Amino acid sequence: LLSADHETNNDGGNGTKKDPEYDLKVSVGWEVNLWGALSWARKQSGAKYLASVEDMRAMRMTLVAEVAEAYFRLIALDNELDIVKQTLVTRKESLEQARLRFEGGLTSETVYQQAKVEYASTASLVPNLERQISVARNAITLLMGEYPAQELERSTLYLNETLPAKLPLGIPSTLLRRRPDIRSAEQSLAAALSGVGLSYADRFPNLRISLSGGLENDELSSFFKSPFSYAIGSITGSILDFGRKKKKYQASIAAYEQARYTYEQSVLQAFTDVNNAIVTYKRVYEAAALKAELRDAASKYVQLAHVQYKGGTLNYIDVLDAQRRYFDAQISLSNALRDEYLAVVALYKALGGGWDMLQDDKNNTKGS
């Protein structure tokens, strides 16, 4: 500490006298860790820091999952719009054939009007799908921290490609411990335990020692001619706190019990999330396989319906019904594949960021 004071005194009216003072002081203090309070405080701070790091990882993992979900929903909507547009081409051809046959007197007006209804109902799906695509695209740019864009580079959801039937999962506790929420809860539990130790140690008197030394003089020119030093030691502690520290200690124990309960619930929730995600993936995979078979059967049904209609053994209404069933089967398969990818994203979150770490753990175990 470097300081300078300039005062004037007038004692008894004998005139004003200058009374300057120049100081250069250095103070050192430390607290003796008699009851472990400093150690507990250090552990508590470290645990809180690690908990905040895990919270950051959880936020990052959630953001990645949200972007992935939004992306798969977007390409599924793109795929659905492509199906609708392809179906519109077929509907338009069928409408033109129905018009020609009606004007030629080969069919009744009912068939022609039915073809118009099918075309109009399919065309009415386009504006709503385009709106949903724009909203989904804007959702992705928002998650990316960017302004809405008219174009966003993306791939295609292929109806003939499916994910593997089984994934290299397993549910080892070492993998679940990598979930950020569990690790954060674990560190919060450690911080609460350290808080108990800190509040217990705080119930006893503390020993604080301070040492000060420096120089002082009334004249700057002879500043270094009058050194001085002194040491001060003190023991501080409350004598009468009316049970305040005891209550604080009890409150820290209650906080620890709450943190322990939160940690246990996090572990149970993790196992539940993983189990639900695995079951969901298996079921949506089975559903996608069945809907792929339905799509293939509906496609064959349309081909046979056209052949029989041209042969005169089937009404045109039946052809339109076959086309409608094929259209619905394509949309249903597209949604099923979308659900597959969404299930993978949910599994990614449940496993704390993926399952490739499981293989790394096995390799590390074998290597050790």
Domain boundaries, the chain: 33-206+242-367
Which pLDDT does position 355 carry in this prediction? Answer: 65
Q: What is the pLDDT of residue 77?
A: 95
Residue type, 180: P
Question: Whole-prediction pTM value?
Answer: 0.77
Q: How far is residue 160's CA from residue 337's CA, in Å, rounded to a whole number?
A: 10
Expressed in percent and rounded to 5, the helix, strand and coil fractions of the chain are 65, 10, 20
What 3-state DSSP class applies to 72? helix
236 class by beta-carbon count within 10 Å (0-12 exposed, 13-18 middle, 19+ buried): exposed
SS3 169: coil
State pLDDT tens for residues 162-177.
Answer: 788 777 665 566 666 7
Sign of the four-CA dihedral 254, 257, 261, 263: positive
- Give the whole-angstrom CA distance, residue 77 versus residue 140: 14
Query: What are the backbone angles phi and psi of residue 354, rounded to the nearest 5°?
Result: 120, 175
CA separation for the pair 116, 112 (Å, rounded): 6
DSSP category for residue 225: G
What are 5's two structure tokens?
């004071």
pLDDT in tens, the chain (368 residues): 666 676 666 666 666 666 677 677 777 777 777 788 888 999 999 999 999 999 999 999 999 999 999 999 999 999 999 999 999 998 898 888 888 888 888 778 888 888 899 999 999 999 999 999 999 999 999 998 888 888 888 888 887 777 887 776 655 666 667 789 999 999 999 999 999 999 998 888 777 777 776 666 666 666 666 655 555 555 565 666 667 888 999 999 999 999 999 999 999 998 899 889 989 999 999 999 999 999 999 999 999 998 998 888 888 888 888 999 999 999 999 999 999 999 999 998 988 887 654 444 444 434 33
CA dihedral 351, 354, 359, 364 (to 10 degrees): -80
Render pLDDT for 156-165 as a digit per residue (tens, 0 to 9): 888 777 788 7
Note whether 281 and 225 are within 8 A (CB): no
Residue indicated by tokens 């049904």: 301
C-beta separation of 137 from 152 below 8 A:
yes
**From CA 246, how far away is CA 244, in angstroms rounded?**
5
Which of 84, 125, 118 is closest to 98 using CA atoms? 118
Q: Which residues are within 8 A (CB) of 266 and not within 5 positions of it... i.e. 6 or more apart?
A: 179, 181, 182, 185
- pLDDT at position 360: 43
Task: With beta carbons less than 8 A apart as the criterion, state whether 180 and 350 touch.
Answer: no
Residue found under tokens 């953001």: 63
Q: How many Cα atoms within 13 Å fall on the side-chain side of residue 257?
A: 6
Structure tokens at 346: 């949910």
Helix H or strand E segment including 66: helix 37-103
**Predicted pLDDT of residue 210:** 72
**Domain 33-206+242-367 superfamily per CATH:** Outer membrane efflux proteins (OEP) (1.20.1600.10)
